[in-house]
Structure 1
C-alpha cells in the first residue's frame, strides 16, 4: 500500500521572480523607467539637507566608444557614489568630458585628408565647429553607453570643457596665473611630435621599445691648453640619435672621470688585413690611424661591443682627468662645410656625464636635450632652431638642409643613411650598429617624438609665488573611515624641497605639501605622484594647434612682457562666456586695446588640454552651475596613469591659484589585462569589449566583475573569468529567488520578537550585525573587493549552505502560525531588506528587479538607505557555539557521505550520529542546540568518554511521509510525525 500524497500540504515557496535573469533584455527596460522617473532628481530630493560627500568626476576623452578601462573606471565611481548615498549622505554626481585637444583635431583632419582637402585652407572658426561637433557626437555616444552600465548621474546637465562657460573658466584660471606672475615665455627643449606638429606634455607621452642606430663619432681636438699633447687626437662621443649630430655645438665631460687615449685602426685597414684583401692604398699614416679618447672605465666595453677590431687597448698613449679638458676645443666632423660647422666646439664640464654607458664624453645639441640646453646656456651657447615643426632640417641648413626625410625617419639615421655616410666619408664614423632601448612616443599618434627647442609658455615650478595668491586651508579629509584634520601646508625644511628653492613658497613646494596632506588609496600613490612632482620640469602650457582654449595674452613687442590689466582680463572672460574660444580674434584684440593694438603681439597658441582638465574643479565645484557641489572634493578617482595626468594637473593648477589640492583623497585603480595577464591589443585579438559583454551577459555581470577584483592592482578579464562571475551571480540571484518565495504573503503581523527566536535565527541576526559593521568599514575604505566578498561569503556559506538548508524543513512543513516558522520568516525579511540594499550599488538592475517584485508600487531601491541592523544582535557566545556546531557538521558529513556511498542510507535524514568526547566543555557548548536539526540527520547523541570519536549508522526510526524526517513519533497508520499530523489534520 503506497503512502498518501502529502505534497499539496507542504508550504513550498511561491514567486514569479524568474531563475533565468535575461539581463541583456531586461536591463534596458529598467533603465528606461529610471530615466522616465528621473531617478537622479528623486535621489537629490531624498538626500537634501544631509551631510555631503563631494565626488568630482575626472573627464574621459570624447573620442570613440567606451572600452573596458572606461567601464571599470565608471563602475568604481558609481559604486563610491551609491555606497556613500546608501550611508545616507547627499552625493551628487555630475559626469563630464574632456573635449579639446589633438586627438579630436587629428580625427577631423583625417576626414579632410580622406577628401584630399587641406585643413589649413579651412577658416579656423569653421574647423573648430567641426571639432566641436565631433566631440559632441562622442559625448552623446559615451553618455548612452555609460548609462547602459547603470551609472546614475546628472546626465541632463553634464560638464564639458568645451561649454562656453567652461572655456571662460579656463581662461579665468589662466589669467590668475598671469596676474600672479606665474607664467613666462621661453625657448626650451620640449617633447615635440613632428607628426602632429605640436609640443606634448609628459602625460601625453608613452614609451615603447625600439631599435635605433647607435654611432661613435670622432671630433678632432684643435686646442688643449692643459694637455697640448692631445691636439690632433679625437674625442669620441656616442649617441643613439644620429640626427642630432648636425646641430652639435659642444662636448661635455666630467671633471672627475679618468680618460684614456689609445690608437684606433681605420676600418679600411681592418678590412685589408683580412685574408685575400689588398692593403688600403693612398692613405697617409695619419689617415690610417687615429688617437682616440674615451673614459677609461668604458674602454674594454667599447672595444668588445662596438669596436672589436679597431681599438688597440693594450697601447695607452695618454691618461688623465676630465679637468684636463678645461679650455679645450674640437672641430665638428663636417667643419669643411663652413658657416655654423666651422665654429669651434668647446669642451664643457657637465655633472650629468657618467660612465654608465657610451664613451664618457657627451655631444651637446642644446636644441634637443634638457641637459644640453642648460649647460650650453650657462656658457653663452644658444639654440639654432635647425629642425622645423615637421621634423625636417630647415632648407637653408648647410648639412642636410631640405632633406625630404624627417629626423626620426629610420632611413635617415641608418648605418648606410645620409648622416652616417657623410660622417664615414669625413673619416669620423668609428662605429654604427643597432641599439635596443625604450623611446618616447605620442600616445595619440603612436609615433616617435623628439626633444625640440621652440618658444613656449611655461609655468615655473620653483619661482616664489607672490602674496597675491591666497592660501585656502584644507578642511578635514577622510582617512581609514575617519575625518582627520591636517594643516594647510606641510612644513618645508632643509630636506627634500631644498633643492627646489628651499623653504620658499613655490609651486613645487605647495604641491609637495598638498600631497603630504592628501589621503591615498592605495597609499603607494603618494610616492608615485610625489616623485613625479619632485623631479618634474616647468609646466609647458602652450600647444601649436587650433582646437583648444587660446592663451589669452598680449605680449609687448619691445619689452617681451605680457600685459596684465584686470579690467581687460575681465572683458576677455565675459566675451568667452558668450562666444567661447571663437571670441579670440584680431577684431576682439583691437576692440580691447584700441590704438595700442600694434604695440602688442596677440598670442595664438592654445592651452595644454591638461590645463583644461586641471581647471574642472573650478568650473564644476565652484561656479554655482551645480549648487549641490562645494569645494574641495572629498575624492578624485582615476587610473594610476593619472598621477602624471589629471591628478597632477589639477594639483598644480589648484596649488598655484588656491594654495592647496582641490581634493582631500585620491583613489586609483590598475589596468585591465586579458585572462593571461597580457595587455589588451587589437592586433593580439585579446580585447574584451564591454559593449559585447553587456549584450551577452548583461551590465550587472560586468559590475560584479569590476567590484570583485582587486582593482588597486592590475587585474584580469576573459571569457572564462566572466563565466565564473556569471555563476557567482546566478547563486546570488537564486538566493533572492528563495527569499522572495519564502516570504510570499509575509506581513508584520507574523513577526516574532528577537527574544523569542530560536538560536539559529538569533545567530543569523548576529552575523548580519557583524557583517553590517564590516561592510561599512569596506565602504569607507573604498574596498569594494572586500565588500562584495563579504556579502558573497555570507550568502553562500552562512545562508545557502547552512541556515537555509537547515530551515527548509521548518519553512515547508511547520504550521504557518508555528513560532519556528514565524521566526525564520521574520529573519528572512530582515535579510531580504539588508541584501537588496547592500547589493544595490553592485547589481543595480537586479536589485531593482528584486525590490519591484516584492514591492511593485514602492519607490526605487536606490532611494533607500543602509538597513536598520541592531548592533545589540551581536552575540559572541552564540557565535562560538555555532562555530563549534558547524565544524561538527563538516566532520559528520565526511562520514555520512561514506555511509551514503556504501548505500547503507539513501539520505543523511535516515542516519544517526554518535559523538564521544573527552572535553566536557564541548558538551556544554553544544547544549541547547538541536544537533539533529542542524546536521539534518535523524538523531545525534553526544556523550562523555575517554577518547574522541564520531560514528555514523542508519537510525532505526520510521520516515514521515510528509517531511521525510526519520523520527520516533511517526504514526504507523498516517505515516506522519506528530508535527506534520497536527498541520495536516488540525
Structure 2
C-alpha cells in the first residue's frame, strides 16, 4: 500500500473493494468433466437435440456423412474414438454453419469376428459349428452382434457423439440383408459374376480372402531344394539325373503334380565330384540346373566339387518321379510319374530354373493346367480348411501347416524329414521374406486354390450405365479422378493405384453367418457353360421378398430351394452357394442407408466418407467397386482419411507392450472433452501419438481456454441489450477486436469446410489465450472493474458479448460438453443448448485493414515496453507495472503518431507513459527484433489510488478519499 494523503489517515481510508465491478459467475475453474459430462448426455437425450436439429434444419441444404460400419464386437479402442470424434466434429460444424447435417451410425454385423466369437461360445456349451443347426448358429451370431452394438453405442455416446442412436443402420437388419442380396443379384444379372479359383486362404479364419484383405509382412520360412528323378529319357546324359527345384513352402511337396521349365533358359547337366560322406548330395550325382543359377545352388549343397558335363538335351517329352515315389509308408500315393512341361512364368532370376507345380496351391500353376485342360488330373484335396493335411494322407495325415495362433506347425518339418528319408533332399535353410497375411487376424495365409465367386472388373457391365466407363475399373478410376474430393489429396493417389492394379474381386466366403450369394448353379455344368448360372428375375424377386420378411435366414430354411425356384425350374438340378464377402455388405450400405432411409440422402450420394487409411483397401475400396458395378459411379462426393494411433514414442499400440490407451480410461480420468481436444489439436492426416504426457499437456491447454471463458462469463454478469454499443461508436481497441472476429469467422468457416480441425482450434485457441487473455482482457480489466457506466465499459462488454457467442459456437463442435456448460451459464432453461444454435453471422464490415495495420505497429512497441517492465520486476525495481511511467523512444514518426492517438499507458498497464522521438539513450532497453524502439524506466509520480491502484498526481484531491479522478467519478 502507498502512503495515505495527509488529509486522510490510513485508519480512515474507506475499503473500495465492494464498489468495483468484479467478475461474478458460478462457472467453476475446476471442470470436473468425468462426473459432469454424463449429466449433459442425459439432458441432450431428454430434450431430443438431434431430432430438434432435424426439425430446425428443414429446407436447408443437406450434408450427409455416411458412417463406415465398425464390427459389432468388443469395447472401443482409441482408433474408434479418433474416427467417431472426427465424424462428430464434421457433422456438428456443418450443422452450425447452416446445413442439415445428418449422421446415422451403423455397424457391420456379419464380420468374421462376430462369427468367430459365436463359434467359440457354441463350443463352450459342448457343441461345434458342424453339429449345430445353421439357423441356430446364425441366431446366436445375431444375438452376439446385438450385444456388441449395445456396448459400443453407449461408449460412442459417452464421447459426445451426436446421431440417430436409437435407429442406427445394421447390416443384419432384414431390409439391409434384402438390399445386399439385391445388389449382388445386379452383379449376377449384368454379367460380371463368374466362378474361378482363388489361392489366398486363411486357415485361422477358415475362408478364402480377397486381395484387398491381404497385407504383407516379413516372415521366416523354411526353404528347401528338392530332387525329382528324370524319367523316360534314352539320353545317357540324363539317365540317373535329377531335376532340382527350390521352394519356400515344403508343405506343398505332397501335392506336387509336375515340374516346369522355360524353353529359352540355358540348362546344364552337373556332376558332383566331391562331397562329405554324410552329405545329402553324393559324389557322382547328376543334376539338372539353370546355368545362371547353378553355382549358387551347388554352394547350398555343401559339396566339395562339381563339373558341368554338358548342355541339357531336349527336355520335351520327359517326365519326373515324385520325390516320395516308393517311399516306405507312402501306400503308392506318389508313385505315378509327374508331368514335365514348359511354362512362361519360369525364370532364372532365383531358385534353380525349374518350378515344382502343385496347382491346388499356386495360381500360376493352376492357370497353366487349366489352360491345358488338365485340372481334373492335377487338383488335389490334401489340405483342409483349417490348414491341416487330410487325415488319410499317408505319412502326413493331420499335420498342421500353421497353428491357430499363426505360428509354424509341424507339416513343413515332417515333409523335410520325409525328403531326407527318401534321399531327395538337396539342401535346406531358412529365409526371411515378404509373406501374405490376413488383414483382420494378422496371421499368415496359405496358398490353397478353392472354387470362389468373382466380380470381373474389366468385363463390360451389361447395365447401360456407361457415362463414366463400361467396366467397373473404368468407372471407379473416372470417379476417383473426376467425381470425388480427397482430404488429404494423397488418398486419391492411394486408392487410384490400388484399383488400377487390383485383380478381380473375390465375392465368396466360407462361413455360415452373413448374407448368402443368392444364386443357383446347375449341377454338372462347367463355369463356361451358358446355363451354369441361373439368371431368372422371378426367382430373384422371390428371394428378395423372403429376405425382406424373414431376413437372410430364409435361404437356409427347409424347402428354401424349391420355394425360391418355383414351378418352372427343377430344384434337384441346382445347388446353392457360399456366403457373400462381408466387404460387399458394407460396400452396399449406400443403397439401404443413403438411398432407402427417409433421413438418408436425397440423391443417394454421401457428402463424406471418413475412415482410417486402411480403408483405401477396405470400405472406400469395396464401396467404390460395388457402387460402380450397380449404379455406374461412386456413392460419395468426398473422402477424408486419417492416420493410425501410436503411443507417445511413435510405437504401434499393443496389449503385450502395455502401451494402449483406452477411451474409457481417458474419460474416467480427464473427461471426453479432453479426448476430443486431443483429436482437434492433432494432425489427423498423419499417424497420431497419444499417451499420459500428451494428455496431460492437452488438459493444461484446456484449463487455459476454460479460464478465458470464465473471464467472459464473469465480466458479462447482468449484461443487457441496453448496454450494447454500435461498432461505429466503439474505441479503436474494441474495433480492432471486431476486425479480428471478422477475420477469424472466415478462417473458422473455411477451416471447418476443409475439415481442418487442427487449424480451426489453433486459430481460436491462440486468439482466446494470447490476443484476448494476454492482451485485450489484460488491458480492459481496469475499465471493466473500475469504470462507472462509461461508454468505454459498455463498448468493452458489448465486445465480450460478441466474443461469447462466437467462441462458444466456434468451439462447440470440438468441446461439446464444455461449450454447453458455458452456454447454459448465460442461457439457462430446460430446452436451451448451444448445439441448437448456429454460428452467428459476423459482419464483414467489421474488417478494417488500415486499423489492423496501425494496431500491429502499436502492439510491436508494446512488446518492448512490457519486456522492459518485466526486467524491472525481475530486478525488484518494481512490484507491479502500475508503479512505472516509462519513457518510450520511437524513431518512426508514423508509429509515434499512432501511439499518441491512443491511451498507450492503458495498453501497457502503467500509470503513465511518455512518448518521444528523441534518440534512445545507451541505457534504454531494446528488443533486437523490433528496431527503432527504446524504453527507459521511470517510476510513476503521485500516490496510489485506493480503488484502481494507479499511481497518479491527483490522488487524494477529490471528494472521495484516496482515489483518482476516474474512480471519484465512478463512486459519484
Per the TM superposition, whether the score is higher than 0.5 is yes
Alpha-carbon contact 2:272-2:282 (below 8 Å) kept: no
Secondary structure of 1:562's aligned partner? coil
Counterparts of 1:961-980 in structure 2 under 5 Å? 961-971=946-956, 974-980=961-967
Q: Output the CA distance in 1 between the equivalents of 2:558 and 2:190.
A: 26
Distance 1:215 1:237, change over 3 A: same
**2:132 pairs with one of 99, 122, 132:** 122
Secondary structure of 1:707's aligned partner? helix
More deviation in 515-524 or 949-958? Answer: 949-958
Secondary structure of 1:954's aligned partner? coil
Q: Output the CA distance in 2 between the equivalents of 1:245 and 1:268.
A: 26
Secondary structure of 1:92's aligned partner? strand
**1:412 pairs with one of 406, 410, 413:** 410
Count the aligned residue pairs. 929
Alpha-carbon contact 2:725-2:795 (below 8 Å) kept: yes
**1:520 pairs with one of 464, 472, 486:** 486
**2:101 pairs with one of 86, 91, 96:** 91
Aligned residue in 2 for 1:573: 544
Aligned residue in 2 for 1:482: none
Q: Output the CA distance in 1 between the equivalents of 2:898 and 2:354.
A: 81
Distance 1:971 1:198, change over 3 A: same
- Once the 2 structures are TM-superposed, how far is the Cα of residue 339 of structure 1 from its aligned partner? 5.8
Residue 952 of structure 1 pairs with residue 936 of structure 2:
yes
Q: Output the CA distance in 2 between the equivalents of 1:848 and 1:216.
A: 71
Aligned residue in 2 for 1:105: 115
Residue 169 of structure 1 pairs with residue 169 of structure 2:
no
- Once the 2 structures are TM-superposed, how far is the Cα of residue 344 of structure 1 from its aligned partner? 3.1
Alpha-carbon contact 2:111-2:582 (below 8 Å) kept: yes
- Once the 2 structures are TM-superposed, how far is the Cα of residue 788 of structure 1 from its aligned partner? 1.1
Aligned residue in 2 for 1:180: 190
**2:868 pairs with one of 889, 895, 898:** 895
Aligned residue in 1 for 2:640: 667
Coordinate RMSD, CA, aligned: 2.6
Q: Output the CA distance in 2 between the equivalents of 1:840 and 1:601.
A: 59
Aligned residue in 2 for 1:35: 45
Aligned residue in 1 for 2:841: 868
Q: Output the CA distance in 1 between the equivalents of 2:507 and 2:542.
A: 22
Secondary structure of 2:797's aligned partner? helix
Secondary structure of 1:112's aligned partner? helix
Counterparts of 1:596-675 in structure 2 under 5 Å? 596-626=569-599, 629-675=602-648
Q: Output the CA distance in 2 between the equivalents of 1:189 and 1:980.
A: 88
Secondary structure of 1:637's aligned partner? strand
- Once the 2 structures are TM-superposed, how far is the Cα of residue 443 of structure 1 from its aligned partner? 4.6
- Once the 2 structures are TM-superposed, how far is the Cα of residue 849 of structure 1 from its aligned partner? 1.0
Aligned residue in 2 for 1:210: 219
**2:465 pairs with one of 453, 462, 470:** 470
Distance 1:181 1:854, change over 3 A: same
Aligned residue in 1 for 2:363: 370
Residue 350 of structure 1 pairs with residue 321 of structure 2:
no
Q: Output the CA distance in 1 between the equivalents of 2:803 and 2:468.
A: 47
Could you list the per-position Cα deviations for residues 506-534 of structure 1 after superposition, in whole angstroms to 9, with x for gaps in the alignment?
22222222221222111111121122212
Distance 1:768 1:138, change over 3 A: same
Q: Output the CA distance in 2 between the equivalents of 1:292 and 1:969.
A: 113
Alpha-carbon contact 2:81-2:159 (below 8 Å) kept: yes
Aligned residue in 2 for 1:18: 28
Alpha-carbon contact 1:912-1:952 (below 8 Å) kept: no
Q: Output the CA distance in 2 between the equivalents of 1:205 and 1:558.
A: 33
Alpha-carbon contact 2:193-2:453 (below 8 Å) kept: yes
Secondary structure of 1:939's aligned partner? coil
**1:288 pairs with one of 278, 283, 287:** 283
Alpha-carbon contact 1:180-1:469 (below 8 Å) kept: no
Unpaired stretches in structure 1, ≥5 consecutive residues: 272-279, 281-285, 472-487, 491-504
Q: Output the CA distance in 2 between the equivalents of 1:354 and 1:36.
A: 73
Aligned residue in 2 for 1:481: none
**1:884 pairs with one of 857, 863, 867:** 857
Alpha-carbon contact 2:324-2:334 (below 8 Å) kept: no
Alpha-carbon contact 1:385-1:453 (below 8 Å) kept: no
Q: Output the CA distance in 1 between the equivalents of 2:606 and 2:273.
A: 68
Q: Output the CA distance in 2 between the equivalents of 1:71 and 1:390.
A: 34
More deviation in 902-911 or 612-621? Answer: 902-911
Q: Output the CA distance in 1 between the equivalents of 2:20 and 2:402.
A: 85
Distance 1:683 1:267, change over 3 A: farther
With normalisation by structure 1, the TM-score equals 0.90
More deviation in 646-655 or 457-466? Answer: 457-466
Alpha-carbon contact 2:882-2:940 (below 8 Å) kept: no
Residue 198 of structure 1 pairs with residue 198 of structure 2:
no
Aligned residue in 1 for 2:321: 331
Distance 1:235 1:929, change over 3 A: farther
**1:245 pairs with one of 250, 253, 271:** 253
**2:521 pairs with one of 552, 555, 577:** 555
Q: Output the CA distance in 2 between the equivalents of 1:684 and 1:723.
A: 21
Alpha-carbon contact 1:701-1:729 (below 8 Å) kept: yes
Alpha-carbon contact 1:221-1:330 (below 8 Å) kept: yes
**1:421 pairs with one of 417, 420, 432:** 417
Q: Output the CA distance in 2 between the equivalents of 1:341 and 1:520.
A: 59
More deviation in 883-892 or 261-270? Answer: 261-270
Could you list the per-position Cα deviations for residues 316-335 of structure 1 after superposition, in whole angstroms to 9, with x for gaps in the alignment?
44578xx9766664433223
Secondary structure of 2:744's aligned partner? helix
Residue 981 of structure 1 pairs with residue 968 of structure 2:
yes
Secondary structure of 2:389's aligned partner? coil
Alpha-carbon contact 1:47-1:89 (below 8 Å) kept: yes
Secondary structure of 2:886's aligned partner? strand
Could you list the per-position Cα deviations for residues 619-659 of structure 1 after superposition, in whole angstroms to 9, with x for gaps in the alignment?
00111453665411111111111111111111111100111
Distance 1:978 1:296, change over 3 A: farther
Secondary structure of 1:55's aligned partner? strand
Distance 1:823 1:532, change over 3 A: same
- Once the 2 structures are TM-superposed, how far is the Cα of residue 224 of structure 1 from its aligned partner? 8.0
Distance 1:964 1:620, change over 3 A: same
Secondary structure of 1:435's aligned partner? strand
Secondary structure of 1:184's aligned partner? strand
Distance 1:84 1:508, change over 3 A: same
Distance 1:761 1:364, change over 3 A: same
Unpaired stretches in structure 2, ≥5 consecutive residues: 1-8, 527-531, 921-931
**1:455 pairs with one of 447, 451, 455:** 451
Aligned residue in 2 for 1:155: 165
Aligned residue in 1 for 2:928: none
Distance 1:604 1:938, change over 3 A: same
Aligned residue in 2 for 1:508: 473
- Once the 2 structures are TM-superposed, how far is the Cα of residue 960 of structure 1 from its aligned partner? 1.7
Q: Output the CA distance in 2 between the equivalents of 1:347 and 1:941.
A: 101
Residue 830 of structure 1 pairs with residue 802 of structure 2:
yes
More deviation in 725-734 or 620-629? Answer: 620-629
Q: Output the CA distance in 1 between the equivalents of 2:107 and 2:712.
A: 42
- Once the 2 structures are TM-superposed, how far is the Cα of residue 32 of structure 1 from its aligned partner? 0.5
Could you list the per-position Cα deviations for residues 523-549 of structure 1 after superposition, in whole angstroms to 9, with x for gaps in the alignment?
111121122212222211111211111
Distance 1:978 1:611, change over 3 A: same
More deviation in 920-929 or 651-660? Answer: 920-929
Aligned residue in 1 for 2:432: 436
- Once the 2 structures are TM-superposed, how far is the Cα of residue 88 of structure 1 from its aligned partner? 0.5
With normalisation by structure 2, the TM-score equals 0.91
Q: Output the CA distance in 2 between the equivalents of 1:345 and 1:737.
A: 84
Distance 1:426 1:266, change over 3 A: farther
Q: Output the CA distance in 2 between the equivalents of 1:328 and 1:121.
A: 49
Secondary structure of 2:86's aligned partner? helix
Aligned residue in 2 for 1:916: 889
Counterparts of 1:669-684 in structure 2 under 5 Å? 669-684=642-657
Alpha-carbon contact 2:435-2:444 (below 8 Å) kept: yes
